[in-house]
Amino acid sequence: MKLAFISDIHGNAVALDAVLNDIKEKSIDRVYVLGDLCFRGPEPKRALNLIKDMNADVIKGNADEWVVRGVQKDEVPEQALEMMNAERDWTYSKLEENEVGYLRKLPNELNLKYENLKIHAFHATPLSLFDVVQPFEKDELLTDKLMINEADIYIYAHIHKPYVRYINGKCIVNTGSVGLPFDGLNQASYVLMNVTKDSFQVSIVRVKYNEHEVISQFKKSNYPNIDMMTKILANGRI
């Protein structure tokens, strides 16, 4: 069984197109989407509807929650709050009410089982859409924050930095980001998982896409934070 886990599209439909083409070429059996579908990109509506048309299991990310109800105090640095709400309002204005309603109703986690393998999937942590757990954290912190439910593989998103790590015989995986990577490589990222009766393999897949097209889309729009977003797209880091 081939599984793909994608996340953090952030309204970058061009990158999502490239990832979906790669998934199709690999004959993947099932796709799961771990949130942050349309906020902070030039094509929020198209990105959201590409996801909806996939018939995939989708969970909510912090950015999906922000689209629904705005960015609240203490969720981001104080100096960024006004700008991020301007970005949220721009994104919201591009969506229909039923599309916002779709985001509102998304669940927060997935508990999956393939063969003898249990997979717990969530956006940031099992208890929060907003907590940040970085790849370099100590084993004890990852265990306390991420490994709450009983599972063999814990897979999350949110930090835009893909990695695979093993702790006490358990596997922790981060998908990275389809549309807005932060690890210095401006290519889309997702996780490919091969599951058989007696084994599993987890790998990070990087996919090239035309970031110049997305930068051009931003520059032709009235998006409130063009300079910052185009720099992230060009450099692959915040």
Mean pLDDT over residues 80-98, rounded? Answer: 98
Give the pLDDT confidence score for residue 107 in this predicted structure.
Answer: 98
Predicted confidence (pLDDT) at residue 56 exceeds the cutoff of 90: yes
Domain count, the chain: 1
Residue located via tokens 């593989």:
153
Q: What is the pLDDT of residue 55?
A: 86
Provide, rounded to the nearest whole percent, the portion of the chain with pLDDT above 90. Answer: 97
pLDDT band at 215 (very low <50, low <70, confident <90, very high): very high
Mean pLDDT of 44-62: 97
Averaged over 48-70, what is the pLDDT? 97
Give the residue-averaged pLDDT of 174-191: 98
The predicted model gives 75-79 an average pLDDT of 96
Mean pLDDT, to the nearest integer, of 81-110? 98
pLDDT at 198 over 90: no
Q: How much is the pLDDT for 63?
A: 98
At residue 76, the pLDDT reads: 96
Output the CA–CA distances (angstroms, integers) from residue 38 to 32, 90, 113, 208, 228, in the order listed: 16, 11, 28, 20, 17
Per-residue pLDDT band for 180 (boundaries 50, 70, 90) equals very high
Average pLDDT along the chain: 97
**The token pair that represents 195 in the structure block:** 């599951």
| CATH assignment of the domain containing 9 | 3.60.21.10
Cβ–Cβ < 8 Å for 200, 191 = no
Q: Tokens for 25?
A: 């070429």
Q: By percentage, how much of the chain surpasses pLDDT 70?
A: 100
Alpha helices in the chain, H assignment, sequence order: 13-25, 44-53, 62-69, 78-93, 97-104, 139-146, 211-220, 226-235
Range 121-144 average pLDDT: 97
Domain span at 102: 2-235
What is d(CA 84, CA 90) in angstroms, rounded to the nearest whole number? 10
